[in-house]
């Protein structure tokens, strides 16, 4: 992994610049940047209001100068809770996608490189996991592990691992047969070095795109699990949980429901647009530069 990042480092600024030039990518970058900013503010607790502080006297206030996005049924500031909820959702999403990305990519690269029985075993397990609808599988895992945001992260990781395995396996098949991998074998390099230095960096682009898409799905899945009471536990704010808590009072105070729901929609759209831009920027056909 270290070798891969070292090789990719000199291109990092290029990549962001290329995403920026792409219209969708630019919107995605901005939205994702704002999400991360909100999450950081929420986590650091530098917001004007404490997301957990209840004020029964101020409950169900509409948007005002004191509470920009109003208050909920316990008088808690919706803006602060939404920012903090984005933080919770992003934390679960990043953690689960990180696990899924590392585990899935590794399995996919091993399957694609060695073929044979490893490919058969990994392939069949992936097929089985794919056979379940994503949310159903996540629900099953959380039910088995118990609720809570850590277990929700593990459940989402289990759901997305096969996707990464499949995304990594395809390009590995062709890279494994490439002349430069043969050349590395002729030089007598150990298999581990060939895998991490020659195969992984060359299949990284589609995996990277998959990361942004998986992040948006993971936010959605985390919200769904929390909505059902299986993810983040109250009073900790999470987008899904906030929507769930606001169901009964939506008729009285629309903002309590609308704001976190809107945050979910914006987060998913923003990360998808970023993934779109990344797909274009990381496309190997546009990467060769002025070479051909």
CA angle 110, 116, 117 (to 5 degrees): 85
197 near other proteins (CB under 8 A): yes
Site for other proteins (CB under 8 A): which residue of 105, 172, 202, 216? 202
Name residues whose C-beta falls within 8 Å of residue 240's C-beta, 6 or more positions apart in sequence: 89, 222, 223, 224, 225, 226, 227, 228, 231, 232, 260, 264
Site for other proteins (CB under 8 A): which residue of 9, 65, 187, 251? 187
182 near other proteins (CB under 8 A): yes
The three-class DSSP label of residue 46 is: coil
18 near other proteins (CB under 8 A): no
Contact window for other proteins (CB under 8 A) among 51-59, 85-93, 183-191, 230-238: 183-191
186 near other proteins (CB under 8 A): yes
Burial profile 41-80: b = 16 or more Cβ within 10 angstroms, e = fewer? bbeeeebebebbeeeeebbebeeeeebebbbbbbbbbbbb
Site for other proteins (CB under 8 A): which residue of 198, 222, 225, 267? 198
- Cβ proximity to other proteins: between 181 and 230 the closer is 181
Rounded CA-CA distance 264/270 in Å is 10
- Cβ proximity to other proteins: between 46 and 179 the closer is 179
The three-class DSSP label of residue 71 is: strand
- In whole angstroms, the minimum distance from the beta carbon of 285 to other proteins comes to 12
- In whole angstroms, the minimum distance from the beta carbon of 126 to other proteins comes to 22
7 near other proteins (CB under 8 A): yes
Q: Which residue has the tokens 């429901």?
A: 257
> What are the residues binding other proteins (CB under 8 A)?
7-8, 115, 178-180, 182-190, 193, 197-198, 201-202, 288-289, 291
């Amino acid at each position: 992994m270290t070798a891969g990042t070292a090789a990719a480092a000199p291109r990092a600024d290029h990549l962001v610049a290329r995403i920026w030039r792409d219209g969708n990518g630019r919107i995605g970058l901005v939205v994702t940047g704002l999400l991360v900013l909100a999450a950081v503010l929420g986590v650091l607790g530098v917001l004007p209001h404490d997301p957990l502080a209840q004020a029964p006297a101020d409950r169900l206030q509409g948007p005002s100068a004191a509470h920009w996005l109003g208050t909920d049924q316990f008088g808690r500031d919706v803006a602060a809770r939404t920012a903090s909820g984005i933080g919770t959702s992003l934390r679960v999403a990043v953690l689960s996608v990180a696990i899924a990305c590392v585990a899935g990519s590794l399995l996919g690269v091993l399957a694609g490189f060695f073929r044979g029985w490893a490919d058969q075993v990994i392939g069949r397990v992936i097929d089985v996991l794919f056979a379940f609808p994503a949310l159903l599988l996540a629900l099953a895992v959380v039910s088995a592990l118990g609720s809570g945001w850590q277990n929700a992260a593990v459940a989402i990781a289990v759901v997305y691992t096969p996707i990464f395995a499949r995304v990594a396996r395809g390009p590995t098949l062709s890279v494994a047969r490439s002349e430069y991998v043969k050349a590395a074998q002729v030089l007598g390099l150990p298999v581990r070095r060939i895998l991490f230095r020659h195969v992984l960096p060359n299949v990284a682009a589609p995996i990277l795109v998959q990361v942004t898409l998986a992040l948006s799905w993971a936010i959605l899945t985390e919200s769904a699990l929390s909505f059902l009471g299986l993810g983040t536990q109250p009073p900790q704010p999470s987008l899904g949980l906030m929507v769930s808590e606001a169901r009964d009072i939506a008729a009285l105070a629309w903002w309590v429901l609308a704001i976190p729901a809107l945050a979910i929609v914006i987060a998913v759209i923003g990360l998808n647009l970023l993934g779109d831009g990344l797909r274009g920027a990381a496309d190997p056909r546009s990467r060769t530069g002025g070479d051909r």
